[in-house]
Amino acid sequence: MQGCLNDKLSMLVDFYELTMSNGYLDSGMGDKIAYFDMFFRKNPDNGGFAIFSGLENVIDYLENLKFSSDDIIFLRKKNLFSDDFIDYLTNFKFSCDVWAVPEGTPIFPNEPIITVRGPIIQAQIIETVLLLNINHQSLIATKANRIVRAAKGRSVMEFGARRAQGYSGALLGARASYIGGCSSTSCTLAEIEYGIPCVGTMAHSWVQCFDSELEAFKQYARIYPGECILLIDTYDTLKSGIKNAIKVFKEEIIPKGFRPKGVRIDSGDISYLSVVVRNILDKEGFYDCKIFASNALDEYVIRDMIIQGTKVDVFGVGENLITSSSSPVFGGVYKLCALEENGEIIPKIKISENVSKITTPCFKELWRLYDKESGKSMADVITLYDETIDDTKPYEIFDPQYTWKRKTIKNFVAKKIKKQIFKSGRKCYKSPDINDIRGYCERQVEMLWDEVKRFENPHSYYVDLSEKLWIEKRKVFSKNHI
Mean pLDDT of 104-125: 98
Range of the domain at 126: 2-140+328-480
The CATH number for 404's domain is: 3.20.140.10
Q: Residue 353: what pLDDT?
A: 87
Q: Residue 201: what pLDDT?
A: 87
Q: Residue 1: what pLDDT?
A: 43
Mean pLDDT of 426-439: 98
Whether 133 and 52 have beta carbons less than 8 Å apart is answered as: no
Q: Residue 341: what pLDDT?
A: 93
With 90 as the cut, is the pLDDT of residue 48 above it? yes
Within a domain: 117: yes
When pLDDT is cut at 50, 70 and 90, the band that residue 4 belongs to is very low
Mean pLDDT of the chain: 96
Within a domain: 67: yes
Q: Residue 356: what pLDDT?
A: 85
With 50 as the cut, is the pLDDT of residue 22 above it? yes
Query: Which residues contact residue 364 at a Cβ distance below 8 angstroms, ignoring those fewer than 6 apart?
Result: 37, 112, 115, 337, 382, 383, 384, 385, 469
Secondary structure element (H or E) that encloses residue 207, with its range: helix 204-208
Within a domain: 266: no
**How far apart are alpha carbons 306 and 153 in whole angstroms?**
11
Within a domain: 364: yes
Mean pLDDT of 2-25: 83
Within a domain: 293: no
With 80 as the cut, is the pLDDT of residue 2 above it? no
Measured CA distances, 413 to 64, 334, 395, 437 (Å):
38, 30, 11, 22
With 60 as the cut, is the pLDDT of residue 179 above it? yes
Number of domains, the chain: 1
Measured CA distances, 457 to 53, 105, 107, 464 (Å):
24, 21, 17, 20
Mean pLDDT of 333-347: 96
Three-class DSSP category at 328: coil
The better pLDDT of the pair 482, 427 is held by 427
Within a domain: 223: no
The better pLDDT of the pair 3, 365 is held by 365
Within a domain: 269: no
Secondary structure element (H or E) that encloses residue 462, with its range: strand 462-465
**How far apart are alpha carbons 175 and 137 in whole angstroms?**
8
When pLDDT is cut at 50, 70 and 90, the band that residue 482 belongs to is low
Q: Residue 339: what pLDDT?
A: 98
| Phi then psi dihedrals of residue 236, to 5 deg | -155, 115
Within a domain: 32: yes
Mean pLDDT of 303-329: 97
Buried b (16+ CB within 10 A) or exposed e, 56-95: bbbbbbbeebebeeebeeebeeeeebeeebbebbeebebe
% of the chain surpassing 70 pLDDT:
98
